[in-house]
Structure 1
Amino acid sequence: MSDHPDLEIASLAEFDTAVAAHGTLADHRVQAVDLTERSHALLSVDTEGAVFLGCPMHPDAAAKVRAAGALVFPPVPGLPFDPYRGSLYSPDELFAGLAHGYEATPDARAYTWFQETKAGGDVFASMLRAVHDDSISDALDELLAGQRVVGVMGGHAMGRGTDAYAGAARLGRTLARAGLTVATGGGPGAMEAANLGAYAAPYEDAMLDESLELLAKAPSFTPSVTDWARAAFTVREHWPAGGDSVGIPTWFYGHEPPNAFAGHIGKYFANATREDGLLARSTAGVIFLPGAAGTVQEVFDNATPNYYESRGAPTPMVLVGRAHWTEHLPVWPLLRSLARDRAMDTRIALVETVEEAAETLSRPASAR
């Protein structure tokens, strides 16, 4: 999109405002806006240098704006997703049609399309994935600008109904109530729990306890994603005014559906882009709950830019579960070795409980 946000248009209301205020669309970037009812405006205003990304419009309007010097990238028919979308996903959008089973939802159909196209080396399909992911990154930047974002990382295997899941949910609630924006990998397990906690933040504490009981009836997304997702939407129906948080999942792991408690979902095709973007946007620090290979990778993906940070303070890193990170997956000794004699040495911590993690993240670096 344009380097000038005031020239970016991602809704019909923004389009109407731009035309009324400036009388021109020259050099504007219009992203995934249905303009079939705006032919008069398109035919009457200057569109030189404008770019229209996936905007339906009447053929005569499209011909005119092209002739006037605009670039028009028409919608791509037959896709289960919009590569030019101007906003993040919502749970309702990704799980539309869940009443007919998860396989009928846009999320499942996008994964199926990904599986069918990724192995064939089709340059058009790979271009569509790249355009989509760039649109998601743009939407994330716009949403999170100026917010204090804390990342919560952890494995997808953490089951509903467990003490660990309940602890991760309390952590998300505590962080959200402290005014932080919770961001997770957007999937099941620890990720869902943290998003659930943020969703529960506006309610009395009892709401989270009741939600945990309801969710425990479908403890895992296997064997049925449908039952797992329906349990989450039951909670949302009981308590519809939940708090916001962000989930950044990926279709790369098709066996990991997104969770329904993140109000804003930035789902990617490219897992590497997704992971790097999630960590880079966690400006207030990252908490690592017990996980396996993916979480270990995220620890060092986060440690690397911190290690080489020279312009400012590294972001805090808090690992939860001493035995997990020192014995089961001994990440902590290596992380301490990297941190030694670097500015990041005071920005890392190993704690036992989620309560300690939340407290540690809120303390100044010199007190860690």
Structure 2
Amino acid sequence: MGVPEDEVKFPAGSDTEIESLSEFDAAAERGELAGYRVQSVDLTGRTSALLGVDTAGAVFLGCAMEPDAAAKVRGDGALVFPPVPDLPFDPYRGALYSPAELFEGLAQGYEGTPDALSYDWFQRTRADGDIFSSMLRSIHDDAISDALDELLVGARVVGVMGGHAMARGTAEYEGAAVLGRTLARAGFTVATGGGPGAMEAANLGAYAAPFDDAMLTSALQLLAGEPSFRPSVSAWARAAFEVRTKWPRGGTSVGIPTWFYGHEPPNAFAGAIAKYFANATREDGLLARSNAGVVFLPGAAGTVQEIFDNATPNYYESRGTPTPMVLVDRAHWTQELPTWPLLQALAKDRPMAARIALVDSVSEAPDALARMSR
């Protein structure tokens, strides 16, 4: 018989979450499953443990279990959200994606990978008005946000924004990669939109940070053979995995892409990938977590949007002290897309005025960040 809710002692904070079998086994051995949240753990081999421990007030999210175990924990008063069949993604997942996970099956073509299949599912369901599909997307994105926050506890995060059209093999791509490497070597966690172009370059640079400088030069040469994800995502992604295979155990950075722009694949150099269905959640989350500043490389509409998405909380100081913003390429941001003059006008006579900078080249961005962070 379940314990009444007001008598259940709930553990505090993230200690309530169980996201692996080892964590489950440790909690079960202590007899401490009451009030816990067990997230996407296969418990079909843990029936005896579930039958022998109190699970009152617990919540099991997408945990496979034997029928008698499920009946028992429901009898205790636990909530059981069973796995959802026939989905190309796990809405209850307890961790961020890895490149290997999203690109599983790439050898047979990108179209059959979990990333491509999830995009196809999104395309089929996004406009059908089905509340169940909408709920699954929301649960998934909330689980991703939870995992991302857990990963970034205590991290100094610098966001690097820029266009997806920046091609491998160009000076601009190399400059963005060197920027990512410089930031990672300075102790920052590099976070990008997780896609191709400037985003991939910055994640590549962070991946290259533990190696000598020659490694990045060689990797850039290898990647230049497949300059774009068009026309073939498969060939583009395989070149990235060739780099990862040749130089394993690189540095870790974060990519935060979205299936809303699913025609753009995620890049394989972000060690942790927080992929969302809702682009608005992804955009705000990426900028909000860039607590040590944001570097904006040349881009088009998406990058312009990100500049002002970041400028708004800086203007109102809604997140506290404004975070540094560095715009790279004076001609781009003053002539081609004259964003800088408007940003200056917004910042006038406000604390954010000391936290914005325009530089000519990407090599100047780390020093500009450092000056504004003092």
**Within 5 A, what are the aligned runs for 1:153-232?**
153-232=161-240
Equivalent residue number for residue 63 of structure 1: 71
Equivalent residue number for residue 34 of structure 1: 42
Equivalent residue number for residue 247 of structure 2: 239
- Of 11, 17, 29 in structure 1, the residue corresponding to residue 20 of structure 2 is 11
| Maintained 8 Å contact 2:354/2:372 | no
| Maintained 8 Å contact 1:2/1:8 | no
Equivalent residue number for residue 291 of structure 1: 299
Q: How many residues align?
A: 365
* Cα separation, 2, equivalents of 1:223 and 1:182: 28
Q: Counterpart of 2:261 in 1: which secondary structure?
A: coil
Letter in 2 for 1:183: A
| Maintained 8 Å contact 1:2/1:29 | no
Deviations 1:51-104 (Å, cap 9, x if unpaired)?
000000000000000011000000000000000000000000000000000001
% identical equivalent positions: 75
- Extract unaligned runs of 5+ from structure 2: 1-9
Give me the TM-score of the superposition, normalised by structure 1.
Answer: 0.98
Q: Counterpart of 1:252 in 2: which secondary structure?
A: helix
Letter in 2 for 1:253: Y
Equivalent residue number for residue 101 of structure 1: 109
CA displacement at 1:190 relative to structure 2 = 0.1
- Of 349, 352, 370 in structure 2, the residue corresponding to residue 362 of structure 1 is 370
- Extract unaligned runs of 5+ from structure 1: none
Give me the TM-score of the superposition, normalised by structure 2.
Answer: 0.96
Deviations 1:163-214 (Å, cap 9, x if unpaired)?
0000000000000000000000000000000000000000010100000011
Q: Counterpart of 2:260 in 1: which secondary structure?
A: coil
Say yes or no: does 1:118 pair with 2:126.
yes
CA displacement at 1:24 relative to structure 2 = 2.7
Q: Counterpart of 1:5 in 2: which secondary structure?
A: helix
| Maintained 8 Å contact 2:313/2:319 | no
| Maintained 8 Å contact 1:168/1:190 | yes
- Of 10, 23, 32 in structure 2, the residue corresponding to residue 24 of structure 1 is 32
| Maintained 8 Å contact 1:172/1:196 | yes
| Maintained 8 Å contact 1:320/1:350 | yes
* Cα separation, 2, equivalents of 1:97 and 1:237: 16
Letter in 2 for 1:81: F
CA displacement at 1:137 relative to structure 2 = 0.1
Say yes or no: does 1:300 pair with 2:308.
yes
* Cα separation, 2, equivalents of 1:180 and 1:219: 27
CA displacement at 1:325 relative to structure 2 = 0.3
Q: Counterpart of 1:202 in 2: which secondary structure?
A: coil
CA displacement at 1:364 relative to structure 2 = 4.2
Deviations 1:130-160 (Å, cap 9, x if unpaired)?
0000000000000001000000000000000
CA RMSD, 1 decimal: 1.2
Say yes or no: does 1:324 pair with 2:354.
no
| Maintained 8 Å contact 2:324/2:372 | no
- Of stretches 187-196 and 349-358 in structure 1, the one that deviates more from structure 2 is 349-358
CA displacement at 1:362 relative to structure 2 = 1.4
